[in-house]
Structure 1
Amino acid sequence: MAMPSPHSDHWTAADLDHMPDDGLRYEVLNGQLVVNAAPKPKHQWLIQTLFLALQPVVPADMATLLGIGVLIGSDEPVPDLVVVTRPIDMESRGVPAAQVQVAVEVVSKSTTFPDRMVKPVIYASAGIPHYWRFEINPFKGQLPGETLPVLFAYSLGSDGNYEQTHRISAGQPVKVSAPFEFTIETGSLLP
């Protein structure tokens, strides 16, 4: 299948319906089409293990979903994992941002800039209350003795921007209390 051309220089979430099913991940961020290769096993292992760890602690009025688009105007970012309020429209192309309580990204070498700089701004602008970013590779700003993976947890502040609430290194079990209580030890998320 040929790659569709946008009707203008601005891509929309609706354009994603015409993307080929080729194993690549397609997103629309700020009107731009972003294409990423399929994630590596380490990335997928962490996100799958986190998904399983969240199942017993996510409240009954919420659900955890993997790799689904978040509908934000004409944009559609695709976080690695989201925790959303129920009910979920099972026929929708994604979930409305208003239902997303937590957006989670695992930073890969190909997604460093979007996961650290672009997506947090988009998620905060959409009013998503919590953003969790996992660093699984050595990174600039990594503290001495800080063991991977490192979780940066953010909550939406009164000014509409994310404020860091936790920086959790492997080997340090920490209780996160919003939007639900959850004790996480990031080292347990990778073999």
Structure 2
Amino acid sequence: MKTLAKWSVDDYHRMIQVGILCDRRVELLAGEIVEMSPETPIHYSTAKRGAKYLEELLIGRADVRFNGPITLSNSEPEPDIAIVRLPESAYNQRHPEPPDIFWVVEVAKSSLQKDLELKTSIYASANIPEYWVLNLSTGQIIVFREPHNGKYVSKQTIGEGKITPIAFPDIQVSVEKLLM
């Protein structure tokens, strides 16, 4: 049985700085450099519209990042949407880290298995309080909450109505608007 070498976040950053990974769509997941799935038009459009919608709801309260990296202990995923603490200028010299992150959103169809298994484990291990998966195949949002020992204790599948984010209990996010 082969043992793969795991890469640290620092190793990954050095590879980016010297150009080893230029022109490659990759992310660091649990110490492994993984090719990112190509984005279909519906995936990209849903993620972009979702980010704009969340920006409108959270103006002046959070920075809504679209397709940008976040830095975790042994991973640097690029969630479709990350809702992070202000000010935006805090991320001029670094990517958001777990204490900065309110929640992350992945849009999934072909990447659904990776998003529900590997990324769920990565985000829960980083103690990201909330993780939403927009399942384009079923038209539902899977909401993960309460990270504990590398797993989310709470999982809820929602097909319509509103979701109230943990970090912003006065905000109502329309499931239909996120999935349209």
Structure-1 residue corresponding to 2:164 = 176
1:152–1:166 CA contact under 8 A, matched in 2:
yes
- 1:154 partner amino acid: F
Please list the CA deviations of residues 153-187 of structure 1 after superposition, one character each: whole Å capped at 9, or x if unmatched.
12125666323353221xx2224242222231336
- 2:118 partner amino acid: V
CA spacing shift, 1:74–1:165, aligned 2, 3 Å: closer
Please list the CA deviations of residues 54-84 of structure 1 after superposition, one character each: whole Å capped at 9, or x if unmatched.
1232262311001111111242111110000
Structure-1 residue corresponding to 2:136 = 136
1:122 aligns with 2:122: yes
For the residue of structure 2 that corresponds to 1:98, the secondary structure is helix
Give the superposition deviation at 1:12.
Answer: 3.3
CA spacing shift, 1:125–1:159, aligned 2, 3 Å: closer
1:155 aligns with 2:145: yes
Structure-1 residue corresponding to 2:60 = 60
Once residues 105 and 157 of structure 1 are traced to their aligned partners in structure 2, the CA distance between those partners, rounded to angstroms, is 17
1:45–1:189 CA contact under 8 A, matched in 2:
no
2:128–2:147 CA contact under 8 A, matched in 1:
no
- 1:57 partner amino acid: L
Structure holding more helix per residue: 2
1:11 aligns with 2:7: yes
Structure 2 length as normaliser, TM-score? 0.81
Instruction: Report sequence identity in percent.
Output: 21
- 1:99 partner amino acid: D
Instruction: Tell me the number of residue pairs that the alignment of Structure 1 and Structure 2 aligns.
Output: 168
Please list the CA deviations of residues 57-112 of structure 1 after superposition, one character each: whole Å capped at 9, or x if unmatched.
22623110011111112421111100001123342352112101111111131x23
CA spacing shift, 1:104–1:175, aligned 2, 3 Å: closer
2:140–2:158 CA contact under 8 A, matched in 1:
yes
State the Cα RMSD in Å. 2.3
Equivalent positions of 1:38-117 (< 5 A) are 38-58=38-58, 60-88=60-88, 89-109=90-110, 111-117=111-117
Give the superposition deviation at 1:134.
Answer: 1.0
Once residues 134 and 97 of structure 2 are traced to their aligned partners in structure 1, the CA distance between those partners, rounded to angstroms, is 23
Unaligned stretches of 5+ residues in structure 1: 1-7, 138-147
Structure-2 residue corresponding to 1:141 = none
Structure-2 residue corresponding to 1:20 = 22
Once residues 60 and 156 of structure 2 are traced to their aligned partners in structure 1, the CA distance between those partners, rounded to angstroms, is 25
Structure 1 runs, 4 residues or longer, greater than 6 Å off: none
Structure-2 residue corresponding to 1:145 = none
